[in-house]
């Protein structure tokens, strides 16, 4: 559903930003480099079931436009508004 997709994208955006900010304070350079990268791969794996494996809203828009599965409002809510709200 649209609500589940928006909640998933918002939560993943929040976790991603919090992990990145926490890695900035790490004294271990290797951990600061690899933790956000590994977390991104894990989050993509688990989030793909909700919104597909796209991390780029522009790319998601192209597939949405090509197949016409969702409206532009649904696309904006899930791939633009929810990740921005999670980042804030």
pLDDT for position 32:
86
Token pair listed for 22: 């926490």
pTM recorded for the entire structure: 0.65
Q: What is the pLDDT of residues 25-81, one digit of tens each?
A: 888 888 888 888 888 888 888 877 776 656 666 776 776 677 777 777 777 777 778
Residues 5, 15: Cα–Cα separation, whole Å: 15
Better-predicted residue by pLDDT, 19 or 65: 19
* Residue 8 banded pLDDT, cuts 50, 70, 90: confident
d(CA 39, CA 4): 21
Sign of the alpha-carbon dihedral angle for 46, 38, 78, 85: positive
Distance CA 70, CA 17 (A): 27
Tens-digit pLDDT profile for residues 60-76: 677 667 777 777 777 77
Query: Which of helix, strand or coil describes residue 28?
Result: coil
CB atoms within 10 A of CB 53: 11
Per-residue pLDDT at 72:
74
């Amino acid at each position: 559903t649209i609500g589940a997709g928006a909640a998933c994208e918002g939560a993943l955006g929040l976790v991603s930003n919090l992990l990145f900010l926490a890695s900035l304070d790490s004294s271990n350079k290797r951990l600061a480099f690899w933790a956000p990268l590994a977390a991104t791969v894990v989050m993509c794996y688990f989030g793909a079931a909700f919104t597909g494996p796209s991390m780029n809203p522009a790319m998601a828009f192209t597939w949405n436009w090509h197949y016409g599965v969702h409206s532009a409002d649904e696309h904006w809510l899930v791939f633009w508004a929810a990740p921005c709200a999670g980042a804030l």
